Amino acid sequence: MPAPDGRDSLTATPSKHNLRWDPVFVHARREAAVIVALFLLFFSYSILTCFFLGYGHTAEDSSSIRLIWGMPAWVFFGIFLPWCGVDLVAVWFCFFFMQDDNLNPPEEDGHAKKLEQSAKETSG
Amino acid sequence: MSDAFFAQNGFSVLSASNSAIFVFVVYIALVLLLAFASNRLRRSKSFLTEYFLGSRSLGVWAFALTFAATSASGGSFVGFPSLAYTHGWIVALWIGSYMIVPLVSMGFLAKRLNHVARKSNAITIPDVLRDRFNSPLFGLLSTMMIIFFLSFNLIAQFKSGSVILQTLLADVPLFQSTSNWVAGTLGQVAVLRSAVNDPGYVVCLLVFALVVIVYTTYGGFRAVVWTDVLQGVVMVGGVMFMLPITLWAVGGLSQASREMAAMVPPRDVTLWVTADKSTAAKLPADDGSADEATADGIPAGPITIPKNSWLTKTNGEGSLRLFRLKSRAELPPHKDVPDGVAVDAIEVFDVDAIKRIRIADLPLTIGKVVEVKETESYGEGQQGVYLTGPGPSQSRTAGFLPISLAISFFFMWTFSGAGQPSNMVRLMAFRDSRTLRRAIFTVSIYYSLIYFPMVIIFCCARVLLPGWETEPDRIMPEMARLVSWSINQPWLAGILVAAPFAAVMSTMDSFLLMISSAIVRDIYQRWVNPDAKERTIKRMTYLSTCVIGTVAVFAALNPPQLLQDIIVFTGSGLSVTFLVPVALSIYWPRFNLKGAASSMLAGFTTHTSLYAVGFWRFHKMTAIEPLGFHPFIAGLLIALLVAVSVTLLTKRPPQHLVEKYFMAEAPQS
């Protein structure tokens, strides 16, 4: 994987030769990119829908504003529906896309494993 | 309109207030109990990590609700309802980006921030930045920024809580007598004399502040989290309870929208009011001389017309005009001022509102009515403005939410949420990735159950409680009272008012703790006394939390107007200052100290400059909007531009920092 600053990770010169990009960093960055893309999608849809359906009405046609489920049509299509859509997307993102990563630093993990091992030996 | 709702008017106001207060007191007692329990739990753990971060052990519900409750502040339950009430359905677009705020504000930064914070054992955001770039001075800079913005917000939140409590206690005799005593006492202290205008507010401010300062100081982060869980449940429960009752009371959402479509925005007027000669003797004079009327029946002293009183005037053609006072008025006896005095009011054009209000039974006459000309308003005299964009406005010819501003707020709420240090700290406190995934989903559902329903509730409030443009920040507690009385369960008002109160408390305690941690950890321990013992740190922490809270109380004695303006200023300010440096520091290995510091300063300077110029020009807390966009957009773009360009123009960060925060040992083959 190329380094984010454009240099190939193979040509980077870390002080230790067995280093790689941290998987937590890689996964988190990918998830962040997807989130930004989702934001842009819902932002575009909502703003455009609300603008074209909800703005520019004159006083004369105020009595003919269409209601759906009691709310103005632009609110229903521009806010209510995408809100429900985002909740569904959250299900996908949280339960099918986002990775479970170990967030502890390696030394903390090693210490925790030692404690666990010691506990097992004590309990026999 | 629901006939059943308007048929109910036989309740006892006094018993309603007592039962509501009882429930409210029980809620406060629970909060204090949680603080006590948290303090006991802390004794076996490292003080700082436990006091400020809960030992990084938050599970799903604690994490989700503390995050949600902290984000939903007084602005959400006082400022936001007042906007929905004042401007109508357009506020659905104003708040619309909250549909995706959980995904962005939690998912965008959480995993990596938690990971990075564990690597350096950071407890605060300045800790993270200090260690990430190996620069104590940068940590100090971040600390100063946090203290600056959160201090403003803390004052606004104190006002929020006091206003809510004031509505709950308004009819309680003990509260009224205490307020009168406070008014008399404050009047003798020169610097506090201006607070005499609203002594009830001062009483509520002191009670509210005492509760929050005590439980935050004593309980620390875990108390804050546990109370957030309690408060989170109360908030969503309050909204879910109010929604169906509001819809029933108004006769359905379609009915409410149709009535809103026919409404015309109220306008500011000046009324010339004179006390009647013939019935003046019935009025109690303000100085207690009610029984000392003169021989022709005119009272000896001035007459007070309470704020928010409704008055009517029938014009020559026989049609009725409806007015509501914006401030308390003192009316001298008729003989002293035969032409009357000028009082500020609004004229409400929805004449049907007369069925839902109580006209003040005051023997006085309205003479002249002078319209206050708004040179920069939108929607004046027009129907339909409450259902369409940009929504009515008394201060902007482009309306409440022109599309450029709608775009700004969509970005702002989303990314400002992500950039709040108070939210970032919570992102450092959850237990593991699994907790994070489940919490993001939980908060998404939680926000769906709060924000959109509140738009519905407070649009309906326009129909149920007309004329609150005089004091829109009170609409939430007023609706809570109305809803609970409408089903003859006045004790519910205590719980419903607890919802916005809970929101304010859950935000305030976080801010209080953040400022306290900034002072103790990031200034005292890092710079003044690095070898301080835990006992000293503990004392410093308790002391700083108390002192900060107390100072904020004094600052809140003269409360700011429209909370939402202050909250927007501080929220957007924190984000433009912190979001870019923090995000790039965890995702871009090339990012260096100079880029981070420059970005922080550029964002801060841009944002505060735009507000400073706006304040100078418009004499209120409003910013200049470049190209019609909120200053948040300009601040964020400039911060990002500066971050990238300064970083690329300066030397690379030290390799050991890149390896520490971005690399891991490859598994051995």
Torsion angle in degrees (nearest 10) through CA of B513, B519, B521, B525: -150
pLDDT lower than 70: segments of chain B: 1-20, 41-57, 72-75, 168, 171, 183, 186-197, 277-302, 335, 351, 361, 363, 374-375, 497-500, 558-564, 668-669
Residue A35 sits at the chain B interface (C-beta within 8 Å): yes
- Chain mean pLDDT for chain A: 79
Give pTM, 2 decimals: 0.81
Residue type, B289: S
Six-digit token string for B667: 């598994």
More confident residue, A59 or B157: B157
The answer for residues whose C-beta is within 8 angstroms of residue B604's C-beta and 6 or more apart is B145, B573, B576, B577
Region of poorest pLDDT, from A39-48, A77-86, B498-507, B624-633: B498-507
Does A55 contact B388 at a Cβ distance shorter than 8 Å?
yes
Six-digit token string for B562: 């429209």
Segment (H or E) for B314: strand B310-314
Residue A22 sits at the chain B interface (C-beta within 8 Å): yes
pLDDT on residue B193? 54
B611/B331 Cα distance (integer angstroms): 39
Note the helical H segments in B135-198: 136-169, 173-186
Report the sign of the C-alpha dihedral through residues B266, B271, B274, B278, in that order.
negative
Six-digit token string for B16: 């309603």
DSSP string of B408-425? HHHHHHHHHHHT-HHHHH
Nearest alpha carbon to residue B274 among B302, B316, B307, B309: B302
pLDDT of A5 over the 50 cut: no
B441/B421 Cα distance (integer angstroms): 21
User: Is the Cβ–Cβ distance between B659 and A19 less than 8 Å?
Assistant: yes
8-state DSSP, A100: -
Contacts B99 to A, Cβ<8 Å:
42, 46, 79, 82-83, 86-87
Contacts B387 to A, Cβ<8 Å:
62, 65, 72
pLDDT on residue B632? 85
pLDDT on residue B562? 61
Does B440 contact A94 at a Cβ distance shorter than 8 Å?
yes
**B239 C-beta neighbours (distance < 10 Å), count:** 21
Interface of A with B in 36-75 (CB under 8 A): 36, 38-39, 42-43, 46-47, 50-51, 54-57, 59, 61-63, 65, 67, 69-72, 74-75
Contacts B438 to A, Cβ<8 Å:
94
Six-digit token string for A90: 């959250």
Residue of B410, B448, B663 with shortest CB distance to A43: B410
Does B441 contact A90 at a Cβ distance shorter than 8 Å?
yes
8-state DSSP, B308: T
B17/B169 Cα distance (integer angstroms): 7
Q: In angstroms, what separates the C-alpha of B82 from chain A's closest C-alpha?
A: 19
Nearest alpha carbon to residue B340 among B373, B392, B302: B302
pLDDT of A3 over the 50 cut: no
Residue tagged 């925005």 (tokens) = B265
Does B93 contact A78 at a Cβ distance shorter than 8 Å?
yes
Six-digit token string for B155: 């004052």
The nearest alpha carbon in chain A to B648 belongs to: A5
Nearest alpha carbon to residue B631 among B608, B600, B654, B659: B608
Does A55 contact B589 at a Cβ distance shorter than 8 Å?
no
Does B382 contact A62 at a Cβ distance shorter than 8 Å?
yes
Contacts A36 to B, Cβ<8 Å:
104, 108
pLDDT on residue B50? 58
The answer for residues whose C-beta is within 8 angstroms of residue A53's C-beta and 6 or more apart is A73, A74, A77, A78
Note the helical H segments in B251-305: 253-262
Residue of A18, A24, A94 with shortest CB distance to B437: A94
**φ and ψ of B134, to 5 deg:** 55, 45
Segment (H or E) for B207: helix B199-250
Does A70 contact B257 at a Cβ distance shorter than 8 Å?
yes
Could you tell me the CA-to-CA distances from B620 to B561, B586, B613, B617 in Å, in that order? Answer: 9, 37, 10, 8
Strands A19-21 and B663-665 come out as: antiparallel
pLDDT on residue B8? 40
